[in-house]
Chain A
Amino acid sequence: MNTRIQFMEEMTRLHHDILAMGTRVEEDLRRALEALRTGNLDLVQEVKAGDEVINALQIKIEDQTAVLIATQQPVARDLRELVTVFKVTDNLERIGDHAVHLAKTARRLAQEPYGQSLERLERMAELGCTMVRDAVTAFLNKDAPLAVSTAKRDDEIDEDHKAFVKEVLQFLAEHPDRAAQATKLIATSSFLERLGDHVTNLCEAVVFMVEGRHVELNE
């Protein structure tokens, strides 16, 4: 018999909010990517609005979690899950910030046509979206293997980042007059690389939650 129905209901509510936060982060990333691709500046506004929603959700979720810890005195897996919530929200919020950076860069870059292919950048952002979704799914389903495999994909982002920076530097050598655009593109690539690190942190937290051990997933 389950004697903690109220606690379980509160946890379900918490999961809904975390899912909403994760979904919004993923959507904002997609919008930012689209803005970068198309120069559609309406999308930039939407991403900024989305960031406020994400920040508000973070506060709401963390407050709910603190109240649950204070009033329900969770232990063992329940406690690990609630401690993990703080890491999940923290990393999601940072990823949301990267979406904003990406969108702002899109706005700045919209002034002039790109001097080179953004294929790698798009692929990084696309993969970032998938990783965010999988990491949140791993958290909600308490799926440690999914967390591990998701974090592994950070390697792909890192490779693209390195290769992209190389491409931009090469382009810059040939077109010194396009330095402003080139540095913004490198910064954008760096945001996406950081995004992958945040997803990795999130995945490490999920493994801790499920298995009670600390792991290092990005070697």
Chain B
Amino acid sequence: MQEDKPVTISVKDLDLWYGATRALNKINLDIESRSITALIGPSGCGKSTFLRTLNRMNDLIDGVRIEGSVRYDGRDIYAPETDVIDLRKQVGMVFQKPNPFPMSVYDNIAYGPRVHGIQDRSVLDEIVERSLVQAALLEEVKDRLHKSALGLSGGQQQRLCIARVLAVEPDVVLMDEPTSALDPISTAKIETLLEDLKKRYTIIIVTHNMQQAGRVSDKAAFFLTGDLVEYSTTKDLFFNPKDERTENYISGRFG
């Protein structure tokens, strides 16, 4: 039996509107530390919206209104005194399509640390190496660190994006369908990587791939039309879901 882990992010009664449209309804959910939480549900269910509330990415969208609270490490991230830049350093994000900057592999990873004021070359070297090792990419790119990142394969680019997030030493990594644009081998590499990363980081992953959610996550949350329908251990959710709507969705009876 798995013991309860400490809670890193605690969401209480979270509502979100896009203008007049309510996209999230009273979401209550605790994300456990050093674990992988999968968010699943059909398109438009609110899972990506929810993910983006966790590091305030929705702030960038006009007309978004949020009620309720999201506490990270005990502090309300929507409180006026929150430093959003610092929050996004702590809670990093990897997107669906790999989006390396048009610069070298090295500079991609050094970008964040440089923004945060690190200029010392030897320190940057260390960060780049550590990040590439953690992202399981170093062996493949060590001879081309100073060549353009755009020359990497899709799977390598996505691991580079993960390395770029890790370079600023986050605590939480949000992933929005990180393998949906990748082939099965690259996907498998990222899934293996996730297993390793969760020893150091808290990972929250949105995925449309049910098997992936089943394979990689410790807990899983099923969203439907803005509601959190069911949230439990992945084992229970996939083997013995409590809610009929979860059962129907995960077994492919709708969606």
Contacts and interface: CB of A to CB of B under 8 A. Distances in A.
Contacts of B210: 73, 75
Interface residues of A, number: 14
A80 B255 contact: no
B238 A76 contact: yes
Interface string B218-255: 00000000000000000000111100001100111111
Nearest to B252: A4
A76 B252 contact: no
Given A2-B254, A75-B251, A76-B247, 18 more contacts: A1-B254, A2-B253, A3-B252, A3-B253, A3-B254, A3-B255, A4-B251, A7-B252, A74-B251, A75-B239, A75-B250, A76-B238, A76-B241, A77-B247, A79-B238, A80-B240, A212-B239, A212-B240
Contacts of B240: 76, 80, 212
Contacts of A73: 210-211
22 contacts: A1-B254, A2-B254, A3-B252, A3-B254, A4-B251, A7-B252, A73-B210, A73-B211, A74-B251, A75-B210, A75-B214, A75-B238, A75-B239, A75-B250, A75-B251, A76-B241, A76-B246, A76-B247, A76-B250, A77-B247, A79-B238, A212-B240
A182 B137 CA distance: 75
Contacts of B241: 76
B239 A79 contact: yes
Contacts of A79: 238-239
Contacts of A3: 252-255
Contacts, number: 37
Interface of B: 210-211, 214, 238-241, 246-247, 250-255
B239 A4 contact: no
A90 interface: no
A78 interface: yes
